[in-house]
Structure 1
């Protein structure tokens, strides 16, 4: 199966995530100040825009920032468009079961950030365990990610339809089991599940807040589609016409699930902000 990502297109709509990213940074009280941190890690840096223009200044007294993404195209774009002598952009799949080479190269981090990435990693438990491995004994991590929302619902429904079954990729092969529920989990269920995953990863939860029905606002309908449609993989056997028809129907279903105004288009999403630390903190 293949998915098509355009760093340039993603960069145009990526600003929609910034308000909540900044809120998460503002509300989090890290136990170790940035001035005492040697290096930090940004998982899922994407185009590098937020890393360079927000996260680095926010952590300005830290000596080094390593920013990683699983997609080579994103890292190439970040290096070309948002370089900085204190940022090292590298390819890393945070859901990989072997991060030993990365650890050997960079060592452990005082702080790990991960914004709007964990919900795209199938093995969330592995990703959280990797975060723990990457943290120093007194290290902390800040994750911001989504629970179930309209995009997943539409994708799952369409993938079960006979006319699209051989065209669209199965979402359950890509997204985490956290979302694989017939009924949308309550906010309390989400919080409980997250805390259990954190504990299983060998970390302690400092705080876990779930923000219900938070609007994700775009300037127009196309912004919604530019952000979400590239995540949908199609099967290699599908013709271009079949892929195009599938994406047209998905576009219609997604927009129908949004609220539209003359100058915006938005959908609600439940956002999890997690602050945790290594269980081996002394």
Structure 2
């Protein structure tokens, strides 16, 4: 199973929280224009786009879903392409957004991004690009991971003699907000600098929970950016070390309840709704 295959079967964490945020924010979005195309940035294997975003849209509105990974785009297109859902490759962190195919297909009345922007170290450029892709009066809804024990897990493994050679740049995969004092204030600043009016900006500590231990392990493995770097013959050992460290530092928690054991994966996240003048 390749990374895109694993991600496609392990997106429950994202879907749970996206569903919650969209239920909360959807009434505040302006849908007076019920035709056109909205943009979904960081679609991965397409499950969240197809299952959470597309069904909420007015019937005349379609989705252009983009991701930095060609493998993810190919996987998503193979599974979900249709009259109202197309997929393209795009790096939202590019300093040359005006030179991309997606730019030529815009502007867009809505830009959504769920669990993507925390991979982009230069938040100012990414959010400016989102603003540039929005039409006047357009709106954006963002969900961004800000931290969690999983990043301590990465750091511990990156400092181990066995795996350090494969993880020298582990800091580049930390959320840009992980070591800041006030992530919400930083995000608000970036949104305002990009010409966007902030309607909502909230943060939460949440947990993805499942009675299936392997489901939680698969989810953590799917979002582990280092798995694909490990030689195939060592990959299972790396995953086992990740799981051991995950239990050790609280990335995975197991709670025994009357109905059985519940496994959880805690993380911190913020979400925002902003509009372009």
Shorter-chain TM-score above 0.5: yes
- Alpha-carbon RMSD across the aligned residues, in angstroms, is 2.5
Residue 7 of structure 1 deviates from its aligned partner by 2.2
TM-score, normalisation: structure 1: 0.84
- CA change 1:20–1:114 in 2 (3 A) is same
**Is 2:268 aligned against 1:270?**
yes
1:229 aligns with 2:224: no
Query: What residue is the counterpart of 1:12 in the other structure?
Result: 9
1:44-123 to 2 correspondences below 5 Å:
44-100=42-98, 101-123=100-122
Number of residue pairs matched?
268
> Gapped runs of 5+ residues in structure 2?
none
TM-score if structure 2 supplies the norm length? 0.86
How much does 1:26 deviate? 1.5
- SS of 2:142's partner is strand
Counterpart secondary structure, 2:187: helix
Q: Distance in 2 between matches of 1:242 and 1:215?
A: 30
Which of 214, 228, 244 matches 1:252?
244
**Deviation of residue 207 (structure 1)?**
0.8
Aligned to 1:132: 131
Query: Contact 2:173–2:225 at 8 Å: present in 1 too?
Result: no
Residue 105 of structure 1: how far off its partner (Å): 2.7
| Structure with greater contact order relative to length (CA < 8 Å, sep ≥ 6) | 1
Deviates more, 1:193-202 or 1:203-212: 193-202
Is 1:165 matched up with 2:159?
A: no
Q: Please list every run of 5 or more consecutive structure 1 residues that lacks an aligned counterpart in the other structure.
A: none
Q: Which piece of structure 1 moves more, 243-252 or 123-132?
A: 243-252
Once residues 16 and 175 of structure 2 are traced to their aligned partners in structure 1, the CA distance between those partners, rounded to angstroms, is: 25
Secondary structure of the corresponding residue to residue 74 of structure 1? helix
Give the Å deviation of 1:96: 1.6
